[in-house]
């Protein structure tokens, strides 16, 4: 999520596959019936809904989130394994503000270490790293 969030609610069967964008411990629930009670308990700034976990319930949840003024300020993100134009457009219309795709997270995880090593190589070849040899 682009904005700074103080608290985050993640609705997924597990969070191992989702890179969480907050420093503090997010609240994770894996029971669809606990979504709205959890929102009232922790009052999150943002929520990540796992599309693969929620399936057919996703549309109902989004409609309820957008129809009640109490939930209007919550930033909604959707975690999906891959993009799908028709489904993504519907979810956007229902209130999803950001999509997090598994493919993009894997690419970002691969690119980040590569960028770091590129910086090291750049420094080595430009002579910015100093090595001290002890005989």
Note the pLDDT tens digit of each residue in 3-34. 567 789 999 998 877 777 666 678 999 999 99
- Nearest 5°: phi and psi at 98? -150, 145
- Put simply, whether the predicted model's pTM sits higher than 0.75 gets the answer no
Instruction: Give the number of other Cβ atoms within 10 Å of residue 56's Cβ.
Output: 6
DSSP 8-state class, residue 32: G
CA–CA separation, 46 vs 64, rounded Å? 15
pLDDT of residue 32: 93
State the CATH number of the domain containing residue 17: 3.40.50.2300
- Residue 60 in any domain: the answer is yes
Number of domains in the chain: 1
Q: Is residue 69 part of a domain?
A: yes
């Amino acid at each position: 999520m682009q904005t700074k969030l103080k608290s985050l609610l993640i609705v997924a069967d597990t969070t191992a596959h989702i890179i969480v964008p907050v420093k503090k411990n997010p609240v994770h629930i894996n029971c669809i019936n606990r979504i709205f009670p959890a929102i009232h308990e922790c009052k999150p700034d943002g929520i990540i809904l796992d599309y693969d976990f929620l399936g057919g319930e996703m549309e109902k949840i989004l409609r309820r989130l957008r129809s009640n003024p109490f939930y209007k300020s919550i930033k909604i993100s959707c975690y999906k394994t891959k993009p799908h134009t028709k489904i993504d457009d519907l979810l956007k219309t229902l209130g999803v503000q950001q999509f997090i795709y598994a493919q993009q997270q894997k690419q970002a995880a691969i690119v980040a270490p590569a960028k770091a090593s590129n910086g090291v190589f750049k420094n080595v070849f430009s002579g910015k790293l100093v090595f001290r040899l002890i005989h």
